[in-house]
Amino acid sequence: MKTVVILVNPKYGGNLGAIARNMMNFNVSELRIVGNSDILDNDAYIRAVHAKDILKNAKFYKSLSNAVSDIDVTVATTGAVSGDRNIKRIPITPRELAKNQKENEGTLGIVFGREDDGLKNEDVELCDILVSVPTSEKYPIMNLSHAVSVILYEIYYESVSSDIPYNLRMKNASKIEKEMLLRFFNEFVDISNAVPEYRKEICKTIFKRIVGRAFISGKEANSLICVFKKTDLK
Amino acid sequence: MKTVVILVNPKYGGNLGAIARNMMNFNVSELRIVGNSDILDNDAYIRAVHAKDILKNAKFYKSLSNAVSDIDVTVATTGAVSGDRNIKRIPITPRELAKNQKENEGTLGIVFGREDDGLKNEDVELCDILVSVPTSEKYPIMNLSHAVSVILYEIYYESVSSDIPYNLRMKNASKIEKEMLLRFFNEFVDISNAVPEYRKEICKTIFKRIVGRAFISGKEANSLICVFKKTDLK
């Protein structure tokens, strides 16, 4: 599995440097930034210490959808659980993410929002999964670089603890397999008389989130496609 | 269990501020510093954000042995495994520490050394346990505040996952119970004809480390004391 860190409009170069260092501590090398390369200032390079190459090789994008277009599994991160049109999105913990993604043979993109603001709802909705680091209600919001470090640590730790027998591993669905499944599901919902018009969008959203959280395997995705492919509904 | 963070001669106020914030993120409030209060500079207060009280309430000590005199279980941290007179001390992971210390009804002190230098051997020897965060050999040394955050996170996470049945919990030995055990063991070694003179110190050191790593319970400590209390050796 290849892990990619994606930062959306980060504010402080110092945090970027610390993030680069944490990435190297936990064997992650690819950094993508939605924003301007000005952010890579002196502070960034100083705080990166021996991880300066990660900053030098960082790629820049104009939007998050561009930045994740080739990523198989995308993970939005949040310091707080927030709702989208009253549908609360349930975050999983970094540990659950790490255990589930261990057998991902594609790419895993972890998306972090701007310091103080976090990710916008529409950016969260672009992602398969929502992750939140369990913190005390006394001060739930972590510094950006420390949140990155805890999440990358969990993923790294899981990768070095080898205890899943090969036969229990399921091959995670790729981005394309999931998109196909969602497309067939959405078409199914569209032509269904069973789902009232005003509920169709919500159903599609919920199903998309469940597919993300369940770490659906390629086989499961392909099997479900057959279910929704039936067109003799009307 | 009450967790205390102990920093030995920290160098950068910014790291201290970040540490205070991480402490509050993970419900730890007591900070002890071996060193001078000058370290609490503007950077420290800026980076602490909403955790300034932790800095204001920090206690200062002249030596590590003073700082840990009332702590039941002390944990030294290291970025690298190093030896003491060729006896490699085996570190445990933060997760193993968290799982074992979950039922500690006393105080747990986590000791961090100076940025760039780490802890001196004699400071490590003062502690019961050695912990190291698993990192990539590409860049094994974490920034001080990030190492703190990963360790406090593991302890916090364990405290909010309640899955140990009450009857399986063992009451950890207190500092006094362990000191008594070590004292009787050391006296036993001193008067023993079986242990050659030049090996007595090493045996005492090894036993002390084992007692620390094993998270010995109060009952176990008290039982072992009887074993070593026998004085009819000569």
Tokens 């090789």 belong to which residue? A57
Residue A209 structure tokens? 């989130």
Final residue belonging to a domain, choices A104, A126, A160? A160
Do A146 and A62 have their domain in common?
yes
Q: What is the DSSP letter of A112?
A: E
pLDDT tens per residue, range A46-76: 999 999 999 999 999 999 999 999 999 999 9
- Decide if B99 is inside a domain: yes
- Decide if A166 is inside a domain: no
Count: domains in chain B: 2
The domain spanning residue A30 has which CATH number?
Answer: 3.40.1280.10
Residue of B51, B95, B146 lying closest to A139 (CB–CB) = B51
Higher pLDDT: B49 or A87? It is: B49
User: Chain A: nearest CA to B123, how far in angstroms?
Assistant: 25
Long-range CB pairs of A78-83, under 8 A, 24+ apart, other chains included: A78/A113, A78/A118, A78/A119, A78/A124, A78/A130, A78/A131, A78/A132, A79/A118, A79/A132, A79/A133, A79/A135, A79/A140, A79/A141, A79/A142, A79/A147, A80/A118, A80/A132, A80/A140, A80/A141, A81/A132, A82/A121
Query: What ipTM does the predicted assembly reach?
Result: 0.75
Range of the domain at B6: 2-160
Angle at A95 between CA A17 and CA A124, to 5 degrees: 65
Do A58 and A114 have their domain in common?
yes
Residue A155 structure tokens? 């993923």
Surface of A (12-71) touching B: CB under 8 A: 18, 21-22, 24-27, 47, 49-51
Do A53 and A149 have their domain in common?
yes
The answer to whether the CB of B112 falls within 8 A of the CB of B147 is yes
Final residue belonging to a domain, choices B115, B137, B160? B160
- Decide if B165 is inside a domain: no
Please tell me the predicted confidence (pLDDT) of residue B82: 46
User: Chain B: nearest CA to A145, how far in angstroms?
Assistant: 8
Q: What is the dihedral of CA B73, A162, B134, A2, to 10 degrees?
A: -150
Residue of A26, A136, A145 lying closest to B25 (CB–CB) = A136
Q: Chain B contacts of A139, Cβ < 8 Å?
A: 21, 24-25, 50-51
Q: Chain B contacts of A25, Cβ < 8 Å?
A: 135-136, 139-142, 146
pLDDT tens per residue, range A91-117: 889 998 998 888 788 999 999 999 988
- Decide if B186 is inside a domain: yes
Do B129 and B218 have their domain in common?
no
